[in-house]
Amino acid sequence: MKIRYAAPLLLTGWILMVPPDSTVPHSVDTAAPMSRWRRIVEFNNANDCQNAVATLNKRNPDIPVPLDPTGELRRFQRRQPADPQLALARVRNATCIASDNPRLAK
């Protein structure tokens, strides 16, 4: 009997993240380590994640279901602070990062 070793299939997801709020009013701390950034929602591919960021930047209240099957993006939009400048800073600095990126562990 021959034993065959199969390499595990590594699937990399993509996470839409926003930086933590800054101590400076109306702004976010983009220099904070990625481990402090807030995870909003995960995607199977980078393209869907980038489309979600673009949708948030357009302030589109009607996020397409394929981009938000769990409703996390809509919940994120509804939970924005009363401070519109801070909400805008969060969205403008949102980014997509691979789930296996080592910066997430630091």
pLDDT tens for the 106 residues of the chain, in order? 555 544 444 468 999 999 999 998 889 999 999 999 999 989 999 999 999 898 888 875 666 656 677 777 777 777 777 788 888 888 899 999 999 999 888 6
Beta carbons of 87 and 80 less than 8 angstroms apart? yes
CB atoms within 10 A of CB 74: 14
Is 69 domain-assigned?
Answer: yes
In a domain, 8, yes or no: no
* Domain assignment present for 2: no
CB count, 10 Å around CB of 18?
21
pLDDT given at position 5: 47
Query: Is 103:15 a contact under the CB 8 Å cutoff?
Result: no
Domain of residue 60 covers 14-105
According to the model, what pLDDT value does residue 36 have?
Answer: 93
| pLDDT score of 63 | 61
Within a domain: 32: yes
| 5: in domain | no
In a domain, 7, yes or no: no
What DSSP character marks residue 70? T
In a domain, 58, yes or no: yes
Instruction: Output the pLDDT for position 60.
Output: 58
For the chain, how many structural domains are there in total? 1
Q: How many CA atoms lie within 13 A of 1 on its CB side?
A: 2
